[in-house]
Structure 1
């Protein structure tokens, strides 16, 4: 992943973010959605090796599912303290599961594209491609009888869950933090 640094990905996406903000023509707007698009695209670039147009249907669906998962998880915080409530019938659990499964399915499809690419196809630099290379190295060293403590590479679902966690948690928390930064900058113009 070092060939395409995180800083470069952020810089490239910031141009798209600025263009989206310019299109608002100075009209007071809640920019949290635009920030979510930008942050999510940086995560997509790092994890999947590509960014999306802000109007892309798959991208919008992915963001909606991510938003719903994070919203429903926040709503279920009480269940952390009273775990027996997880067994009670609650309508939000079905919706949470539905959107979470959509994110998992997307991650599986993307991982499958990487796994089934041919040697002639250059894979985009991403977390997935780096992970798959590491898996291959691990398998090779294991077949050669070398010891390794990286047993997590043997779990076929580990990559999928790591991708889902990086995307969901990384996108939401960073976008919310940036929203707060912008709010504080608006309220403290001397700091701007």
Structure 2
């Protein structure tokens, strides 16, 4: 019953994603998710049924072949092998592949030694000094006027002369490009 319920849930999810794809609310590629689930589930159920058939066949053969007392341990034969954990705790592992050397023995053999790495420059370098700017606030507009004057001088120095640019449109484009490429708040 549980297998039927699980299979029905997977089929319903596949159908809803297909309907969602038809209604353009979901991509059709989303239907691959429940389809993959169905394929994995069918493979798992098939594997389970095959192992159950083998288990029943083993018990049937034991019952038919048991005419008298036998020396076989029936508990080992009847209890089918469950999946064992593949991970072995570190305390139970064999340490045959690991060789622990005593301290200092690597130096005697001339083994690899790490090179000295110099300390980065930012560790020993002096702290950078930030320049102090003094802005005279007693005369309003002096600093901003000076900044505008410096910007105009830089723009005049950067613009090509009329001898360099023969086309007036190119000169205007160059001036406009310089105006737009200025840094913010300048």
TM-score, normalization by structure 1: 0.24
Could you say which structure has the greater relative contact order, defined with CA pairs below 8 angstroms and 6 or more residues apart? Answer: 1
Compare CA radii of gyration and give the structure with the larger one: 2
Q: If each structure's helix is expressed as a fraction of its own residues, which one has the higher value?
A: 1
